[in-house]
Structure 1
């Protein structure tokens, strides 16, 4: 029975590590516990009247919640591993009152101290296999901290690339380029560069799906609001007279179709055309495309 309880704890740890792996290093369209948390917070925030202010907090709060969920599951799982073997399989420092506490409380304390790599030493594993398992928890705690920092450092550049593209599209819309300005070599270069930026954003949505749940603020920095203008530019390029402009327009249109496919598969599930997907994307972010 003791080993069965310990296996349950090990299962909780593995669930947390699997979710961390698929969120940070091997994202899949099926998501995991982290995606469920983020989606639930996003949908809940959209119900509030002061929607823009609340939705703007979803991304950061969701990341904090997910990291807390990972850490809490690891701590609880390892505590359950220790629990059936506490206190007889552990050594306590002289004068320590830890052995007088409930076994579950001591197990939680030891797990928390170990995962935080504090190593206070007032409770130490005595059996051989526990002396191996306990340092492994410290390694997992160190990996969790490193992964969290890496996640934060990676997500914000992805958000910057998305907002830069949106602002660039807003500036182009305000400049109102003429047909002659689009139907030339400079226009071809412009459409080609936009296609490259759209592809980068598409990759960001694949690699960092949680970026979807970050609100972009004002309309001119919101890709949800500006992506429709990118589609209009692609259509103008496709009907141009210059062959290099038509090619660049096709590239931009293809990049936008690919982006729409990713948005629909992972987040929106409309099953419609790229125009339908972009309209749903704008509506989901409280924008008019």
Structure 2
């Protein structure tokens, strides 16, 4: 009975890790708890150092730790699945004494070799159902590697889009957008384009929530350092402006509101207004707000 309880426990542990991978990469929800907690801890710890370089490393280090935990959990789960059935359910290469390979470290070795698809063959499953479970771990290992690559290839373009939007806002600020009363037709078109770009950023935060824990670098490429400014631009457009200007203002406000809702629901949990949430986001990433 104890043997099968350990087997079920190992299977449950492996499924727990795979569930987190699924909800982090392919079905982003709040159920991807492991990755979210690790990234949050990395962010908080880096912020306590009070140095920009440490904060900049929080995201990459957090991703490395998350992937390592996924792999370690799956490997441990499969090792617990193998362990109770050693050595009777396994075949051993010539020269190996089965009775000397019954410990957890031996099961862990088999699990690592199988997941890494090394195929050494010195210890291999021999019992029917284990001969299916073993290759299945290799498939999971390959899928985890593929998922990790796709995660990296998804997050970094999202970061690039966010930093591009921040740079665009910084450019509009340096061009004197704030001083145009009312904004010129060209400025209105720029605000409408910016509203569309902010909508993309909002989707990125939902699809790749871990991207929140990446620092954006210098002031010009930091959305947090510029977000309050662009919100103030929208608020200064008078209600009696022409129709195109009002449309640009309303679109920008809607994008900012959607972004604030996403940030508050998933990361900040302030329950405040759009301006309050955006200011809190600026403080969390940049330590100050700019308007």
Which of the five TM-score ranges fits, normalised by the shorter chain? over 0.9
Kindly indicate whether the alpha-carbon contact (under 8 Å) linking 1:92 and 1:99 is maintained by their aligned counterparts in 2.
Answer: no
Deviation at 1:191, TM superposition (A): 1.2
Partner residue in 1 for 2:60:
60
Give unmatched runs, 5+ long, in structure 2: none
What SS does the aligned partner of 1:56 have? Answer: helix
What SS does the aligned partner of 2:30 have? Answer: coil
**Closer, same or farther: CA 68–27 of 1 in aligned 2, 3 Å:** same
The alignment status of 1:153 with 2:153, answered yes or no, reads: yes
Find the aligned partners of 2:167 and 2:236 in 1 and give their Cα distance: 20
Kindly indicate whether the alpha-carbon contact (under 8 Å) linking 2:167 and 2:220 is maintained by their aligned counterparts in 1.
Answer: yes
Deviation at 1:240, TM superposition (A): 6.0
The alignment status of 1:16 with 2:17, answered yes or no, reads: yes
Partner residue in 2 for 1:82:
82
Deviation at 1:235, TM superposition (A): 2.3
Kindly indicate whether the alpha-carbon contact (under 8 Å) linking 1:183 and 1:241 is maintained by their aligned counterparts in 2.
Answer: no
Deviation at 1:181, TM superposition (A): 7.1
The alignment status of 1:46 with 2:39, answered yes or no, reads: no
Find the aligned partners of 1:99 and 1:108 in 2 and give their Cα distance: 16
What SS does the aligned partner of 1:28 have? Answer: coil
**Closer, same or farther: CA 111–161 of 1 in aligned 2, 3 Å:** same
Partner residue in 1 for 2:242:
242
Structure 1 residues 41-84: Cα deviation after superposition (integer angstroms, max 9, x where no partner): 111111113x2111110000000000000000000000000000
**Closer, same or farther: CA 24–189 of 1 in aligned 2, 3 Å:** same
Partner residue in 1 for 2:279:
279
Find the aligned partners of 1:281 and 1:21 in 2 and give their Cα distance: 28
**Closer, same or farther: CA 254–38 of 1 in aligned 2, 3 Å:** same
Find the aligned partners of 1:183 and 1:6 in 2 and give their Cα distance: 69
Deviation at 1:29, TM superposition (A): 3.4
Partner residue in 2 for 1:211:
211
TM-score (norm 1): 0.95
Give unmatched runs, 5+ long, in structure 1: none
Deviation at 1:230, TM superposition (A): 1.6
Task: Give me the CA root mean square deviation.
Answer: 1.5
Kindly indicate whether the alpha-carbon contact (under 8 Å) linking 1:183 and 1:237 is maintained by their aligned counterparts in 2.
Answer: no
Find the aligned partners of 2:237 and 2:191 in 1 and give their Cα distance: 8
Find the aligned partners of 1:88 and 1:102 in 2 and give their Cα distance: 9
TM-score (norm 2): 0.95
Find the aligned partners of 2:76 and 2:217 in 1 and give their Cα distance: 38
- Where does 1:129-168 land on structure 2 (aligned, <5 Å)? 129-168=129-168
